[in-house]
Chain A
Amino acid sequence: MTVHNLYLFDRNGVCLHYSEWHRKKQAGISKEEEFKLMYGMLFSIRSFVSKMSPLDMKDGFLAFQTSRYKLHYYETPTGIKVVMNTDLGVGPIRDVLHHIYSALYVELVVKNPLCPLGQTVQSELFRSRLDSYIRSLPFFSARAG
């Protein structure tokens, strides 16, 4: 079981952070294009999911999976989006994504007046704490699954 990579977007589609741990295949496009593609896709899926829902929506779009990986999604009312790709053995991790938002992004970036919002996070503290947190997750194994 493992975590492949993680994206963090803000409400305007700016990619605030990207980290990867186990990614064997790249997308074949520049990182900038990849972020735009990811954000655009998420935006469309969200509105598709709520439009086509046969019942009242509660949490909205949560995850999708393919035969090789699963993409988990968490969004706050302020439009901050946490996207994590893991392998298929990982169940719902809403609490993990919420923790990344509340204990890492809010604590280390939002509450730091020297960290400007609306652009890629430069904080080394944020990057290293996020890395340690991901590595400490029970479904993360150092050996690529």
Chain B
Amino acid sequence: MSRQANRGTESKKMSSELFTLTYGALVTQLCKDYENDEDVNKQLDKMGYNIGVRLIEDFLARSNVGKCHDFRETADVIAKVAFKMYLGITPSITNWSPAGDEFSLILENNPLVDFVELPDNHSSLIYSNLLCGVLRGALEMVQMAVEAKFVQDILKGDGVTEIRMRFIRRIEDNLPVGEE
């Protein structure tokens, strides 16, 4: 299968401007379709979730990372491998809760928001909410129920963008229900 042999970090490059503009067009269209910011945020989360459940398989296929043993390992893999692979950035991990079930990802820059400024009438829009959905969907497929939300956003005037990740519970494998 030589078609796949060269797949890797030097795979097809796409312009990051195209990606940013595509994402912007998506959010703009959603704003027109839904009219209120809360609904747009929900849709972005849902779309992100659908991306995440598939993206995790691509991630596992390409990165050869095995099962993580705890939430700390998961945080490291998310920040150092996944974000690097898909967005080309490496967020830092900070603010661990004492129980080790919550942490923050600090993004110095966010490729989704290059060239973006939030207009005044969309102050409760979480522009990059797709990312939260992606994280939630991807982790659910590896048996972790998590909550991801933005607590700081450079688009809203904060100094950095911060995503807070909270571990809810482990999702156990279930044997499929038999008919007998």
Contacts and interface: CB of A to CB of B under 8 A. Distances in A.
Interface of A: 11-14, 36, 39-40, 43, 76-80, 99, 101-103, 105-107, 110-111, 117, 133
Given A76-B57, A78-B142, 18 more contacts: A11-B141, A12-B174, A13-B175, A13-B176, A36-B178, A43-B175, A76-B60, A77-B66, A78-B57, A78-B60, A79-B143, A99-B1, A102-B61, A103-B1, A103-B4, A107-B4, A110-B58, A111-B58
Main secondary structure of the interface of B (DSSP, over half): loop
A78 B176 contact: no
Contacts of A76: 57, 60
Contact of A111 (B54, B142, B143): B54
Contact of A77 (B60, B174, B176, B178): B60
Given A77-B66, A117-B53, A133-B1, A106 B58 contact: yes
A39 B175 CA distance: 9
A106 B61 contact: yes
A66 B4 CA distance: 34
Contacts of B62: 102
A17 B109 CA distance: 42
Contacts of B176: 12-14, 36, 39
B68 to A, nearest CB: 8
Sorted from nearest, which 6 A-B pairs have the closest CB atoms? Answer: A102-B61, A13-B176, A106-B61, A103-B4, A110-B57, A77-B67
B167 to A, nearest CB: 16
